[in-house]
Chain A
Amino acid sequence: MPLLDRHGAKAEIWTRSESAAIDNLSHALVDWAALPEALAQKTRDQRIGVVIPNTVRIPELKLLMRQLSLIAISFPSFGDGRGFSLARLIRNHGFTGTLRASGPLIVDQFAYAIACGFDEVELPEASAARQPVEQWTRALGQISHGYQRGYGDSGNILDRRRSARLKHAAAS
């Protein structure tokens, strides 16, 4: 399925494995249910990613996170925003690997996804066919600065006002 990040279309390096059988895949992407078994088989050089439903609780995931290189959070529909909060929680709990939003997102959610800690979006063919990649990259710049602090946007309005104040105070 088509994959993209903030720079545009991206090649898929992960191979989906239906079961826990990860054989000699270098980048194996397994389902949540198969994860414990897959991790048990993992060799030193193998990279494991997991596809999780948006109902997974942090305590269930937290102890496994360090062994994962990618977490793909499923979006069953674009209107179901649980994935945004789950991404934030996963980042807040220290996950530094790749975070992927997987599902029928729309262009207008791309900036939100990035702000919540996602690196990339994996779309169903039909969504991608209607919404070309250039719409996604263009959408990222539509709102220059948001009002929320702590959402990876160093240019957020509150911090910008703060630096303007400090600059002003230093000058006077």
Chain B
Amino acid sequence: MYRYDEFDERFVRERVAQFRDQVGRRLDGSLTEDEFKPLRLKNGVYLQLHAYMLRIAVPYGTLSSRQMRQLALIGERYDRGYGHFTTRTNLQFNWPKLRDIPDILDLLADVEMHAIQTSGNCIRNVTADHFAGVAQDEIEDPRPTAELIRQWSSLHPEFDYLPRKFKIAVTGAAHDRAVIKAHDIGLRILRHPDTREIGYEVIVGGGLGRTPMIGKVVREFLPKADLLAYLEAIMRVYNLEGRRDNKYKARVKILVHEIGTEEFSRRVEEEFARLDGPSVNADPAEVARIAAYFAPPAYDALPATSGAFEAAKAGNPDFARWVETNVTPHRQPGYAALTISLKPIGAPPGDATSEQMRLVADLADEFSLSEIRVTHAQNLVLPQVKQADLFAVWRRLGEADLATANVGLITDIIACPGLDYCALATARSIPIAQALAQRFADAGRQKEIGVLNIKISGCINACGHHHVGHIGILGLEKRGIESYQITLGGDATENAAIGEILGPGLAAEDVPDAIERIVSVYLAQRQTGESFIDNVRRIGLAPFKAAFQEVSHAVA
């Protein structure tokens, strides 16, 4: 993975000193509270319902074991012994004291980490495919591109006071695991159909929030070398022309929607053509310097399948079931990428204790070349594990309640922090996730239902990605009471789609029954081997609506 050079190191240290100075200027009255607010947000410091929250960047979801141990330490020393992994692959601490934050930032800088631009109206933490570098369907590793963008977007003089937040995601594989079509900019690495040259498909204007939109292709093929100049052109058009009169209409998706994809693309191309690309772009040697950090590690030459692994599966059905859901094929023979579920039944999705973080770090050192990934589905990945070691890893994970076999299944729920923590929330998310996980806890039943993504947001801002959940749940407040709106048919992959609302909102306690009904329709109507989302696409919403109405009538 990427390592800081002297320049990166100095940059992050100076940024910490700058934040200390900003806090000082707030305290002595040089800055008003209104002026200080964006400064603290751009350093990841939120004021939540009960306390300050610190959001730490995990760039493109990549962590080393050393970094994970430092997060465990910070959690113990400055928080309540746990942290929360988010859908932007960041880590949030929910209970730090404001006065401790500069010290926490110092500890982060010690392990080449920071909290820069994890909030605020600027370019946020860049995300990527969590199986980058190990996926079988990968054309090129997206991490060098993401790292180049991380550096370029950090304290950008021109684009730090945008109309609204701005999110970029990169994938290098055919199957989209990074939800690129729901980002302000999504980059898909591809080969030019004629020249076979590597470049990017550039997608702009996706996003969730109160006006969900699927991104539009503004450039079918961008040569790799032109990336930064093209991004500069997009950002300049957005910064000048994005709406600033209404924060709910300020994302680039609204601009693209209002002027049309063609006109947006024309303006970007015009600015791009006028720009002096060579003076903006990173030179190829710099791109190569970054890429070298992500070169494939020295793998052992192994047979494609391990006899010990096959024997362990045959001898232990629980292990076999976990492998089925949590283990992903690796491009290197004899290796696997394993996903550690942070969704044990009944626990808040995405939470990990300091002890759990340390265990994951230890396992990464012993079995995964010290590498860890964070996924946008709020799970962790050990990407470089030998098949023959999987059984040992599984047993160790099980001792720490980290071996839940549910990745991609109905209990692998994405949920935002909701009203339990968040100042913006209108309803609770975590208790809904917990109730649903308990309802569908039975392993056999989960397996029977198969792949089904439930995503829950506690307000219209959609941090829980409910629009792109196969089943989405949005918590609202109506006349002082929590009300949950159910959507169906969303998809976060390369077939991205926004879910449709099934009917009137439900009370919290009725949500599990409603989901149960929806699942029953699928189980009754599916064809052999048909997944939930395929079934919804084939039979349409009507049968689900009918079943849903029975629940809403029953409680009305």
Contact = CB atoms under 8 A, between A and B. Distances in A.
Interface of A: 78-82, 84-86, 88-89, 92, 106-109, 111-113, 115-116, 130-132, 135, 142-151, 157-158, 160-162, 165
B14 A135 contact: no
Contact of A84 (B154, B157, B228, B280): B157
B282 interface: yes
Contacts of B39: 106, 108
B21 A149 contact: no
A108 B17 CA distance: 13
A85 B276 CA distance: 15
- Chief secondary structure at chain A's binding surface: helix
Contacts of B160: 81, 84, 112
A85 B236 contact: yes
B29 to A, nearest CB: 7
Contacts of B17: 142
B18 A112 contact: no
B38 interface: yes
B35 interface: yes
- 5 closest residue pairs by CB, A with B: A81-B161, A115-B157, A112-B157, A157-B7, A147-B151
Contact of A89 (B11, B22, B236): B236
Contacts of A78: 35, 161
B289 A143 contact: no
B484 to A, nearest CB: 34
Given A86-B240, A161-B5, A150 B21 contact: no
Interface residues of B, number: 47
Contact of A106 (B7, B31, B289): B31
A16 B11 CA distance: 41
A135 B25 CA distance: 9
A111 B151 contact: no
B289 A161 contact: yes
Nearest to A147: B151
A166 B10 CA distance: 22
Interface of B: 5, 7-8, 10-11, 14-15, 17-18, 21-22, 25, 29-32, 35, 38-39, 121, 151-152, 154-162, 228, 236, 239-240, 244, 274-276, 279-283, 285-286, 289
B21 A148 contact: no
B7 A160 contact: yes
A87 B123 CA distance: 20
25 contacts: A78-B161, A81-B161, A81-B239, A85-B239, A106-B39, A107-B31, A108-B18, A108-B39, A111-B157, A112-B158, A112-B160, A130-B29, A130-B32, A131-B31, A143-B11, A144-B14, A146-B154, A147-B151, A149-B279, A150-B279, A157-B8, A158-B286, A161-B5, A161-B7, A162-B286
B162 A81 contact: yes
A168 B458 CA distance: 54
Max chain A C-beta neighbours (<10 A), residue from B29, B31, B161, B289 = B161
A9 to B, nearest CB: 16
Given A106-B35, A107-B25, A111-B157, A161 B239 contact: no
A34 to B, nearest CB: 24
A146 B152 CA distance: 8
A84 B158 contact: yes
Contacts of B281: 149
Contacts of A86: 240
Nearest to B10: A144
Given A162-B283, A162-B285, A107 B30 contact: yes
A88 to B, nearest CB: 6
Nearest to A126: B32
A158 B283 CA distance: 8
Contacts of B154: 146-147
B286 A116 contact: no
B6 to A, nearest CB: 9
